[in-house]
Structure 1
Amino acid sequence: MLNSRILLVEDDAIIAMGLESKLKSWGCDVCNWVSSGEEAVNETFRLKPDLILMDIGVKGEIDGIEVVHRISSLNIPVIYLTGRNDKEMLKKAHKTVFYALLKKPINHEILKHKIRSALEEQRKLEKK
């Protein structure tokens, strides 16, 4: 996972700081942390990160699922993070292309495995 640039989209500062610290301890570069859907769209196109950790229920006019729709042309792997458990939200999320959906509180070992797998899969696709 070294040298991977990750955009963190999370509106809870405490969760974001914890995730950022954990990601850095794994050798990841958190290229930015944003808290709204609009910022997430702008920063994704500006930074073109290797992977995005996307909270579904972010601040702003658009949620994390809509962000993924708007950035889909970039083919960046997305791991959804959510504290919600409603079926409509899950159905909406499954209409997008994403690598994984993890429920909060996040199990860090599972997150680490998903990040590693998503990045490896993405690198294989880029070599083709």
Structure 2
Amino acid sequence: MKSKILIVEDEIIIAIDLKQRLESLGHDILDTALNGNDAIKKTRETNPDLVLMDIQLNGPIDGIEAAQQIQKLFKIPFIYLTGSHDNKIWERAQQTEPAGYITKPFDETEIQNAIELATLPKQD
């Protein structure tokens, strides 16, 4: 299933690599945001099916706070991207109820599985 995705990643090389991998898997990449405030703005502008959110972003708000605001404002699912193994960060991230996690370095199967689970129609 093809998804419209917004990538939020402050490391340009990682963002480009992820964009290429997602496109090769058949997904439509709407845009890339480099910080939390930009992520919120671009979510409003592009209305993605899914946001891939780096947990540790440069700027005044980190990925966890940006994801919370996106969830509150737009009700769009998000998947965290992380290379962190810090327990405090994980605990904060888990409280936001993400649709999934993808750990760095990325694996195409892990990416595709996480996206498919995150974009399944919700059962009432």
Q: Is residue 108 of structure 1 aligned with residue 97 of structure 2?
A: no
Deviations 1:61-106 (A, max 9, x none): 0001001111113221111011111111001001102111122112
Structure richer in helix, relative to its length: 1
TM-score normalised to structure 1 length? 0.89
TM-score normalised to structure 2 length? 0.92
Unaligned runs of 5+ in 1: none
**Is contact 2:102–2:114 with CA below 8 Å preserved after alignment?**
no
Identity %, equivalent residues: 37
- In structure 2, the partner of 1:89 is 89
**Deviation at residue 48 of structure 1 after TM alignment:** 1.5
- In structure 1, the partner of 2:45 is 46
For residues 39 and 50 of structure 2, the distance between their equivalents in structure 1, rounded to whole angstroms, comes to 12
For residues 103 and 21 of structure 1, the distance between their equivalents in structure 2, rounded to whole angstroms, comes to 17
- In structure 2, the partner of 1:7 is 6
Aligned residues: 123
For residues 50 and 10 of structure 1, the distance between their equivalents in structure 2, rounded to whole angstroms, comes to 17
Which residue identity is paired with 1:87? Answer: N
How does 1:2-41 map onto structure 2 within 5 Å?
Answer: 2=2, 4-41=3-40
For residues 102 and 18 of structure 1, the distance between their equivalents in structure 2, rounded to whole angstroms, comes to 14
Deviations 1:18-77 (A, max 9, x none): 110011111111100011011001111222100011001112100010011111132211
Unaligned runs of 5+ in 2: none
For residues 22 and 106 of structure 1, the distance between their equivalents in structure 2, rounded to whole angstroms, comes to 9
2:76 alignment partner, SS class: coil
CA RMSD of the aligned region, Å? 1.4
**Deviation at residue 113 of structure 1 after TM alignment:** 1.1
